[in-house]
Amino acid sequence: MRTAFRSWMEQGSRSRRILIGIGIYVACMIVYAILAGDRLKQHTPYNHFPLLADAWLHGRQDIVGGPPGYSGNNDFALFEGKTFISFPPFPAMLAMPLVWIAGSPENFRDGQFFVWLAPISPAVMWLVFEKLRRTGRSPRTEAENIQLSLLLAFGTVYFFAAVQGTVWYAAEVVAMGLGALFLLFALDAERPVLAGAMLAALFLTRPPMILFGFVLLFEALRVSSKEPEADDPGLVRRIWNEIDTTRAGRILALGMIPALLGVAFASFYNHARFHTWDPSAMGHEHLTVGWAPRIKKWGLMSYHFLPRNVSVALGSLPWRPAKGTTFPGNAPFLISGHGLALWFTTPLYLWLVRPSRTTYLWIAAGIAAAGPSLADVLYQNSG
């Protein structure tokens, strides 16, 4: 047994990477489960995805009888007298088999289900980091890659989202796992069909994240060039004169077909509910919430929301009470309900301002991240 384990853990072996990935998953799962607490024992008050899954299981799109009382009518869409779940549906697809087994959304422990999914992202990102190391595109050691995976798990705002289990954070947990899998498949354009499938699922979870697809585009161009191993920024300038267009086109076609199928599904799905072929119009336009007037006036995305969102992302910090006043529980400081500045939560992000070297991959990743980031700061809610 010991000999077999040593062979499984041989340096550089695939089995070693998988076993370490499993270890990261288990370690994260234990911590997340402890902090999730009672969310593991009962459904959350915002179990929108199980409600949607249950509606499908009964052959309908809307929620009969309207929002359940325990939800506080929080983030439901009202259209033509019917109540709909306005969140993109892929997390509900994942939950549907277990909702069927449970028999009802209330019997399905959605918080527990999404806590199970939350460790997938750091575990898969470990494989991504190792893939970059094995292919010579990252100078990080194995130990450093483990640390980076755990930093994602516990040193970023993902830690907060991972233990919530409610609809908004559940979608982010699922999207992070899909995004990590997309990167694993897209690097070196190794598995374009699977990468495209992850893009389709991403669009059906958090639509702006389909813009991650730029990574596959850049990788398809790189591996189709005369110097596919190059990872210097000059390759971006040279690539158009050196590319094998047939090979690049084939890779991109293989990736785009499943992605476009996902977008097409969203179009039919939205038309069936809201009579629109817009694949991104999942129903937030019809929310019955206090800020519905601003959505009606400015739309879901607008430059109007930019100053507030940028100030939250970059300037939101803890603050102390004024002299002579106290906070609940005698807390020494308060944190805004909008959250904290990204650089304050994860100071390591400050390294992005001045990277030690600007590589082809750095450029590709930066462009891919810019799209969802722009969508975030233009969105009507700071999230």
The ranges assigned to domains in the chain are 15-299
First to last CA, the chain: 50
Contact status, residue 138 vs residue 125, Cβ threshold 8 Å: no
The single residue listed with the structure tokens 């086109």 is 249
- Rounded Cα distance between 263 and 129, Å, is 29
pLDDT-derived band at 2, boundaries 50, 70, 90:
low
pLDDT-derived band at 230, boundaries 50, 70, 90:
low
**Amino acid symbol at 243:** I
Q: What rounded mean pLDDT belongs to the chain?
A: 90
Question: How high is the pLDDT of residue 149?
Answer: 97
Question: How high is the pLDDT of residue 198?
Answer: 97
CA distances for 229 relative to 12, 135, 235, 261, angstroms: 20, 9, 10, 32
**pTM to 2 decimal places:** 0.92
pLDDT-derived band at 357, boundaries 50, 70, 90:
confident
24: pLDDT strictly greater than 80 = yes
- Rounded Cα distance between 163 and 41, Å, is 13
- H-state helical runs in 44-166: 48-57, 90-102, 110-117, 120-134, 142-154, 158-162
Higher pLDDT, 73 or 121: 121
pLDDT-derived band at 112, boundaries 50, 70, 90:
very high
pLDDT-derived band at 43, boundaries 50, 70, 90:
very high
Percent of residues, the chain, with pLDDT higher than 90: 62
pLDDT-derived band at 173, boundaries 50, 70, 90:
very high
Residue 295: closest CA among 281, 284, 282, 308? 284
pLDDT-derived band at 383, boundaries 50, 70, 90:
low
pLDDT-derived band at 295, boundaries 50, 70, 90:
confident
- Rounded Cα distance between 182 and 213, Å, is 9
Token pair for 131: 């893939």
